[in-house]
Chains A and B, each alone.
Chain A
Amino acid sequence: MRYLPLTETDRRAMLAKIGASSIDSLYRDVPERVRLNEPVDLPLHQGELEVERAILALARKNLGTNRAPSFLGAGAYRHHVPASVDHLIQRGEFLTSYTPYQPEVSQGTLQALFEFQTQVALITGMEVANASMYDGATACAEAVMMAGRVTRRSRAVLSGGLHPHYHAVTATHARFLGFELDLMTPDPEAGEDLAARIDGETSCVVVQNPGFFGQVRDFSALGEACRNAGALLVMVVTEPISLGLVTSPGEMGADIVAAEGQGIGNALSFGGPYVGLFATREKYVRQMPGRLAGETVDADGRRGWVLTLSTREQHIRREKATSNICTNSGLCALAFTIHLALLGEAGFTRLAELNHAKAVELADALASTGKVKLVSESFFNEFTLRLPRSAAETVEKLAERGILGGVPVSRFYPDRPELADLLLVAATETTSGDDITRLCAALGEVL
């Protein structure tokens, strides 16, 4: 077994030192009737070659976005990740280290997290950010719970432009913690009046920008309305590249930002692992969930970093912790940091421009087919189309033609017939002119 260094000679010598007759005898505290004496009914060990063959055979049964024109978004976006990102995160010192609880031998991870926190704070326009969450949806739920702690109120208003998975994850927590949600109906036209839902019991209003259906909105007035009512404005972002072009949540008056960071540095990977971004105002930092890296000095007075404010966390507070979270998404956060460091101000803003320009070209090309109607008046790199027939069926027909043509809204809302003809379509810097031509032609055939 290639991963096990002990030889039979080693094992005999070690058992002799222990004074035990066999490894099995070390399990003597296990009640005899539940001890297994044989391996379970699963295949026996295999070499690298065999395992690689078996898993690649599964991979070949899929049609990945590398092999097909892809216009999929809905909270996960295909972007080009520079080669050096994956090279660097695979360095064993990053890949095979634990949470940096021993700062003297974890300065690499800690400094990278401090850089990550700073980058997240900058792009969201917020004062502070944590060292990451599981993903955008869990970050959103945590933001709502945090708003409850800050305001000591228990009702949150969730916009109809919020990603339905973010809705659902937040609703799951609400069910078990007993806080109330005011769920707005799905809102493709972005016509909802959120300010009207705020009252003295509102802990926060949660909006997404760009919205699930694509619209980009200025939420400054809503932020003002929240402030006047003592509620917080929580802003969700599912496509982090948009922050290079759209006014930041901080400038719009957000109190908490919960975002999905996958679009920077991380592969689609069928939905995970991703990296949740979480940022807020400095005055709320002690109510914030998740790990935090902070600057300090060592015994020689040299600058260094530590995990700090950990009294908020479960290993100290136990049942009184701000959250039960014990992991962040360290390596995905590192990929995010490296990619964003490579992009820099110039690259990040240009990448955002490029995404938007591609989406505008795509929208114009689709509209000019005359078969579809653009629902989103404004958008960043994803928009909603109204088709003359079922979007789910259309997507199936496109897939038959080797095109991943978008995400039917009905996949999220199967019980709402009024949304059945809506299709979410995204473009990124990876979308080519040829991809656009093929999609338009295929839609011409199937609609």
Chain B
Amino acid sequence: MERERTPGTFTGNRGLQIEERLIFEQSEIGRTGVDLPEPPRVKDRLGGTRRRGPIGLPGLSEPQVVRHFTRLSQKNYAIDLGLYPLGSCTMKHNPRLNEKLARAEGLADLHPMQPERTIQGALELIDTLAHWLKTLTGMPAVAMSPAAGAHGELCGVMAIRAALEDRGDKRQRILVPESAHGTNPATAAACGYAVDPIPANERGRVDLAAFKAKLGADVAGIMITNPNTCGLFEDEILEISEAIHAAGGYFYADGANFNAIVGRVRPGDLGIDCMHINLHKTFSTPHGGGGPGSGPVVLSRALAPYAPLPYVVHAKEGFRLVEHNADPAATGKAFGRLKGFHGQMGMFIRALAYMMSHGADGLRQAAGDAVLNANYLLASLEEDLTPAFKGPCMHEVLFDDRFLKDTGVTTLDFAKALIDEGFHPMTMYFPLVVHGALLMEPTETESKDELDLFIGAVKALARRAKTGDAAFFRDAPKLTPRRRLDETTAARKPMLRWRPKETQGQAAE
């Protein structure tokens, strides 16, 4: 058996870092990890479509599968292991109570198409979560079905377009700040709009004059993240919202950073028309290695009638689920449907448990602690690193790469060296409005001790970079399950699946 080697060990393993082949390379035909009864003998009704020939799935027993995925898990960094200061991603502690409740009988085993009388508790749970979201944002309505933040953006911009079309208004442009997440322009385009970028001013905020100059009768709306991706509160937000409304457009707020202000500012008071809420950020449903998320969208009175199907309403007989525009309880104006069934129930349960655990007081404290932790990083690192803008910041702090000038060390190298120190890197090269961005978001669930250790490590690396030891950084990380990976080859000759050895040659042709 051919094995990958590293110097020193026969197996290639390094202590607890165990090399693990693909499941396809551990297969024996006929072996299985489940015991199923012999199917009753029946004459099939497959209409002549019975599969011929094998599928090619590997055969493994349960102990092999458990060991395989346990070994894989040990090659991942995680919040459960340490500080994960990925700016704009909000990697905070995921309470396990939430996991337990999402798996409870009566919730996890509910089928989405059960009769309403058998799901009153589920509808009440959705309604309760909706109440919390509306109260925290100061908004009159919320669409619960979007599956993620970007999906929520689609929902919001579609509602805007539906409302405009309903009044016979064919506006063409959406204004998006240059500092925005890539999803904002992608969403506007996916809803049929042209994207018109607005520059940032020297204070890292939307340039109000430039924004006003772009306003016109063809502007459908503006998409603004607040606090913005530079970690700053848009202090001219009230002027922006007034101006966009005066021009007949709508105000889309990207709620990615709502965690900084929850319980302290209600976006509704800022004059927004819609905002998606990433339950996996602000309300701590787990990121799970990249989803699933959940992105409910709060809506103003003007946009509420256009909310997508389905939604929960109160009726005489109890809670009802409105699934069609023709339903007597419907607004009749829903712009359509965004997802199969009713939304990310498993995420709703977790988010509600998180909110109830914190309460109104705890959520306010959580936001305050998140902001305090970020400002503590700013104050502790401003001498060794170069802050992009003057503080105070909100829940995240942005540095640029001026502190690395003439060192030969790049933002990427610097971040990779942090991995060897046992930390996940910060967000790099985003937002695009500053050079070599390093965006750090500690979140409220980090202790002062953990922050102090991180600060110590960052300062030590910054000083080392300034001594001119660029080679050290270029080689980092050295202590990880894998060193830097060759992304160029991966993109030039994409290998996106395993293939059995004998056909690998063919596939390359």
Contact = CB atoms under 8 A, between A and B. Distances in A.
Chains A and B belong together in one complex: yes
8 closest cross-chain pairs (CB), A and B: A271-B341, A378-B47, A331-B288, A92-B80, A61-B121, A271-B112, A59-B106, A172-B336
B472 interface: no
A392 to B, nearest CB: 9
Of the four ranges (under 10, 10 to 19, 20 to 34, 35 or more), the interface on chain B belongs to 35 or more
B288 A66 contact: no
**Which of A41, A175, A411 has most chain B Cβ within 10 Å?**
A175
A196 interface: no
Contacts of B103: 86, 267
B486 A60 contact: no
B447 A165 contact: no
B469 interface: no
Contacts of A171: 336-337
Contacts of B477: 104-105
Contacts of A76: 111-113, 341
7 contacts: A3-B444, A15-B372, A46-B357, A82-B34, A271-B345, A306-B490, A414-B327
A341 to B, nearest CB: 5
B419 A273 contact: no
Contacts of A340: 57
B110 A330 contact: no
Contact of B23 (A19, A103, A341): A341
A292 B269 CA distance: 41
Given A94-B76, A108-B75, A118 B489 contact: no
B111 A296 contact: no
Given A104-B480, A345-B29, A268 B112 contact: yes
Contacts of B436: none
Of the four ranges (under 10, 10 to 19, 20 to 34, 35 or more), the interface on chain A belongs to 35 or more
A176 B191 contact: yes
A369 interface: no
Interface stretch (B64-72, B399-407, B457-465): B64-72
**Which of B361, B371, B490 has most chain A Cβ within 10 Å?**
B490
A205 interface: no
**Which of B182, B294, B327, B419 has most chain A Cβ within 10 Å?**
B182
Given A218-B47, A302-B482, A72 B113 contact: yes
Contacts of B86: 98
Nearest to B268: A34
Contacts of B65: 84, 338, 341-342
Given A96-B287, A318-B185, A429-B36, 6 more contacts: A18-B392, A30-B235, A65-B110, A91-B70, A98-B287, A176-B161
A291 B66 CA distance: 26
Given A298-B484, A341-B58, A350 B39 contact: yes
Contacts of B141: none
A344 B60 contact: yes
B188 A319 contact: yes
B291 A327 contact: yes
B57 A29 contact: no
Contacts of B233: 27, 29-30
